[in-house]
Amino acid sequence: MKSEITINKAILHVLDTNASIPVLSDMLLNMTVSVKEYVEKHVERSVKDPENKRTVFRPGSPFKDRIIDYKNNPHELVRISSEISQLFFDYMQDNIEIPSADLVFVDFNIEHETYLGVFKFNYKQGYIHYVNTDKGLTNDILVQPCVLPTESQKLDEFILFNLASDAVLIKEKKYSINNEKDYYISNQLIFCEPAISEKAAFDIIDKTVKEVIAREYGGDYQKLNTAKTVLADDYQTESEIDVDNLAKVVFDGDLTIQEGFKEYLEEKGLYEKKIPVTANIEKKIFAKQKFVTDTGIEISIPMDQLKRNDIIEFKNNPDGTISVEIKNIGILNQK
């Protein structure tokens, strides 16, 4: 179901570090039909971005005070956004690897909750034609160094503040800070707790399950199918990934392997036992299960048909080989 997004107001500030000062607007963004559509699409795409990390402010975060200031004074978007933009600009000038950008602040509602979004529209290099009439008529191509992302492009960096719950959704990139790669937005600017995106969490779990099954069970296809089914069932019933349940069902009876699996996850930075997941990664959860035989045959099976013996059946043969029977085919198309 598509979430209804309502844009209440927005403002844009120019943070070009080639200049000595930022260009801070003292007026809200003029929401023409095309501009409103452009902003809405980026807001919607960002809300649904599977690389979002859900986190909260650290105790004593000075940035939290600015968000509280805005909650108490929602008419002060110009002032508060300008103060935040100045913080970004000062830090960006001290760390030249961070790209210049327009910082767009958007007050919006989604599912009856109000957010303040801070969207960093990093500049891209683009090209335009230029009609030069100085010495006759010449059509040239000019480089534009400050092109904003298109409607269809995902943003690399943004922060979404839920003004009702104090939750923070953040997508960010690492840049070289004092000769070390670091997440400057969460660690140096807004000061929030370390977090991992649901996409990254799912990828870690999915990869680790496959590694353990390959190492301990020779890549047993039934356990691979079981793992995919458990992940899908947990998502559908609880909107989460239950690590303990996954380990118990997939590695049934092997307590040592169950504990080892959870230790491998922790070594990869995943400590939570229950990871909330949303429709943002639904495509990953319900991705087709793919198999490749030793003779090069590829089989791709939709998740909802893995457990249906009337559709597909795997059989272990006495000689150690595996037979796969695909049943009840109505139409067979060649691709």
Asked if pLDDT for residue 328 goes beyond 90, the answer is: no
Domain contains 333: no
- Taking alpha carbons only, the member of 83, 121, 116 closest to residue 102 is 121
The pLDDT value given to residue 1: 44
CB 110 within 8 A of CB 4: yes
Reading phi first (left if > 0) and then psi (alpha if -120 to 50, else beta), residue 328 is in left
* Domains in the chain, number: 2
Q: Are residues 319 and 216 in the same domain?
A: yes
> How far apart are alpha carbons 108 and 41 in whole angstroms?
12
Q: Are residues 63 and 184 in the same domain?
A: yes
Domain contains 129: no
Strand, coil or helix: 150: coil
> How far apart are alpha carbons 333 and 260 in whole angstroms?
44
Asked if pLDDT for residue 307 goes beyond 70, the answer is: no
Q: Are residues 210 and 312 in the same domain?
A: yes
Q: Are residues 228 and 170 in the same domain?
A: no
Q: How many helices (H) and strands (E) does the chain have?
A: 9, 16
Give the residue from 140, 164, 189 where a domain finishes: 189
Give 8's contacts (C-beta < 8 A, 6+ positions apart): 107, 108, 109, 114
Q: Are residues 177 and 208 in the same domain?
A: no
Most confident of 83-92, 268-277, 310-319: 83-92
pTM of the model: 0.81
Q: What's the mean pLDDT in 57-84?
A: 95
Give the residue from 136, 166, 189 where a domain finishes: 189
Domain contains 23: yes
The pLDDT value given to residue 113: 92
> Would you state the structure tokens that stand for residue 328, as one six-digit string?
């009840």
Asked if pLDDT for residue 227 goes beyond 70, the answer is: yes
Residue 142 banded pLDDT, cuts 50, 70, 90: confident
CB 116 within 8 A of CB 34: no
End-to-end CA distance of the chain: 31
Asked if pLDDT for residue 190 goes beyond 90, the answer is: yes
Mean model confidence pLDDT for the chain: 90
Domain contains 138: no
Domain contains 22: yes
Give 300's contacts (C-beta < 8 A, 6+ positions apart): 288, 289, 290, 291
Whole domain around residue 293: which residue ranges?
Answer: 198-326
Q: Are residues 180 and 224 in the same domain?
A: no
CB 108 within 8 A of CB 114: yes
Q: Are residues 22 and 88 in the same domain?
A: yes
Domain contains 135: no
Q: Are residues 36 and 116 in the same domain?
A: yes
Q: Are residues 10 and 155 in the same domain?
A: yes
Residue with tokens 């690492």: 174
> Would you state the structure tokens that stand for residue 86, as one six-digit string?
């100045």
Q: Are residues 39 and 57 in the same domain?
A: yes
At residue 310, what is the residue type? Answer: D
- Taking alpha carbons only, the member of 283, 58, 100, 300 closest to residue 189 is 58
Asked if pLDDT for residue 179 goes beyond 50, the answer is: yes
Domain contains 126: no
Give the residue from 134, 160, 189 where a domain finishes: 189
Domain contains 141: no
Residue 104 banded pLDDT, cuts 50, 70, 90: very high
Q: Are residues 209 and 308 in the same domain?
A: yes
CB 65 within 8 A of CB 213: no
Q: pLDDT tens, 12-40?
A: 999 999 999 999 999 999 999 999 999 99
CB 42 within 8 A of CB 155: yes
Q: Are residues 116 and 214 in the same domain?
A: no
At residue 309, what is the residue type? Answer: N
Annotate 272-303 with DSSP letters as a single string: -SEEE--GGGHHHHTPPEEEE-TTS-EEEE-G
